[in-house]
């Protein structure tokens, strides 16, 4: 029993030394990265970028009417996308353009219940995928999608139902328009 009492202070001292350090808490040891330094403080956005924030001057330069801006589809975002749309300025061959931004991957447009005719294209500086939307409407239209960081950028163009033969190719018109807006879109 006496021996045990003699070792208790020694064992206690070692336990205290092992649990304590002479270094100041949070101080870095040269050459060793601390846990605090390795943790990022950058907040990850919880909502996608809003295409309605594109400046009016850029919208006009692209040939769209800023006064026709519509946030969402009938005022509502869908499928986690932020959506904004405009009509073109020309009174003949009227069309509607919508830009969708969401956190989906490019694989989202592989859903054959929504999209068809997928093919690779170059839109401005982006490698993109051209598509047609599966819908009840037979109006001429086209869509294009590409990723920018974590976000999927999609745009669609749909001709007015009263326009039987548009004076433009919808895909060419859309690709030109999105390339024109390129500096305003996430990259």
Measured distance CA(95)–CA(174) in Å, rounded: 10
In order along its 187 residues, the chain shows pLDDT tens digits of 444 443 333 333 333 333 444 444 444 444 444 444 445 566 776 889 999 999 999 999 999 999 999 998 888 888 899 999 999 987 767 899 999 999 999 999 988 888 999 999 999 999 999 999 887 466 678 999 999 999 999 999 988 766 667 788 899 999 999 999 999 999 8
* pTM (two decimals): 0.73
Q: Which domains does the chain have, with CATH numbers?
A: 2-38 (no CATH), 51-184 (3.40.1000)
């Amino acid at each position: 029993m006496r021996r045990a009492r003699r070792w208790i202070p020694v064992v206690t001292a070692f336990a205290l030394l092992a649990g304590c350090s002479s270094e100041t808490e949070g101080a870095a040891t040269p050459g060793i990265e601390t846990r605090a330094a390795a943790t990022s403080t950058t907040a990850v956005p919880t909502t996608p970028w809003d295409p309605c924030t594109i400046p009016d001057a850029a919208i006009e330069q692209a040939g769209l009417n800023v006064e026709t801006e519509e946030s969402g589809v009938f005022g509502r975002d869908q499928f986690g996308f932020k959506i904004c749309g405009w009509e073109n300025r020309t009174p003949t061959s009227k069309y509607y353009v919508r830009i969708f931004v969401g956190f989906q991957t490019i694989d989202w447009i592989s859903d054959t219940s929504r999209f068809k005719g997928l093919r690779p294209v170059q839109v401005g500086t982006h490698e993109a995928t051209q598509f047609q939307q599966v819908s009840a409407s037979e109006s001429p239209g086209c869509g294009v999608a590409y990723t920018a960081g974590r976000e999927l950028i999609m745009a669609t163009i749909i001709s007015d139902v009263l326009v039987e033969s548009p004076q433009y190719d919808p895909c060419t018109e859309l690709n030109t328009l999105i390339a024109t807006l390129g500096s305003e879109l996430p990259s």
